[in-house]
Chain A
Amino acid sequence: MTHVSIKELTKVYPGATEPSLDRLSLEIPTGELTALLGPSGCGKTTTMKMIAGLLEPTSGDVTFDGRSVLKDKPEDRGVVMVFQNYLLFPYMSVADNVGFGLKMRKVDPVEIKRRVGEMLELVKLPDLGDRKPSALSGGQQQRVALARALIVQPNVLLLDEPLSNLDAHLRFEMRDLIRSLQQEMGITTIFVTHDQEEAVVLADRVALILDGRMKQYDLPDAFYKRPVDEATARFFGGHNFVPGTSDGCRFDSPLGKLTLPEGAATGQGKLTFRPENVRIAPEAAGQNTLNAVIADIIYLGTQTRLKLRVGETEVDAIMNPNEVETFSVGDTLPIYLPISTLWVIR
Chain B
Amino acid sequence: MTTKETLGIRSFRVLTGAVLITWLILPLVPLAIWSFAKGWFYPDLLPRNWSLRAWEYAMSDTSGVLASLWLTIWISLVATFLSVLVGVPAGRALGMYKFRGKEIVELLILAPTIVPGIAVVLGIHSIFISLGLTNSVEGVILVHLIPTLPYMVLVMSGIFANYDPAFEAQARSLGASPLKTFWYVTLPAIRPGIIVGGLFAFLVSWSQYILTLLIGGGRVETLPLLLFNFATSGRNDITGAIGMIYILPGIIILLLTAKHLSGRSGAVGGFGQI
Contacts and interface: CB of A to CB of B under 8 A. Distances in A.
Direct contact of A and B (CB under 8 A): yes
B4 interface: yes
A55 interface: yes
Contacts of B1: 54-55
Contacts of A56: 2-4
A74 B2 CA distance: 11
Interface residues of A, number: 6
Nearest 9 A/B pairs, CB to CB: A54-B1, A55-B2, A56-B2, A56-B4, A56-B3, A53-B3, A54-B3, A74-B3, A55-B3
Contacts of B4: 56
Interface in B1-42: 1-4
Interface in A48-93: 53-56, 73-74
A67 B215 CA distance: 76
A54 B1 CA distance: 6
B: interface residue count bin: under 10
A259 to B, nearest CB: 55
A54 B3 CA distance: 6
B136 to A, nearest CB: 52
Nearest to B4: A56
A54 B2 CA distance: 7
A324 B234 CA distance: 100
A74 B1 CA distance: 11
Nearest to A54: B1
A53 B2 CA distance: 9
Interface in A34-60: 53-56
A73 B4 CA distance: 9
Given A55-B1, A55-B3, A56-B4, 8 more contacts: A53-B3, A54-B1, A54-B3, A55-B2, A56-B2, A56-B3, A73-B3, A74-B3
11 contacts: A53-B3, A54-B1, A54-B3, A55-B1, A55-B2, A55-B3, A56-B2, A56-B3, A56-B4, A73-B3, A74-B3
Contacts of B3: 53-56, 73-74
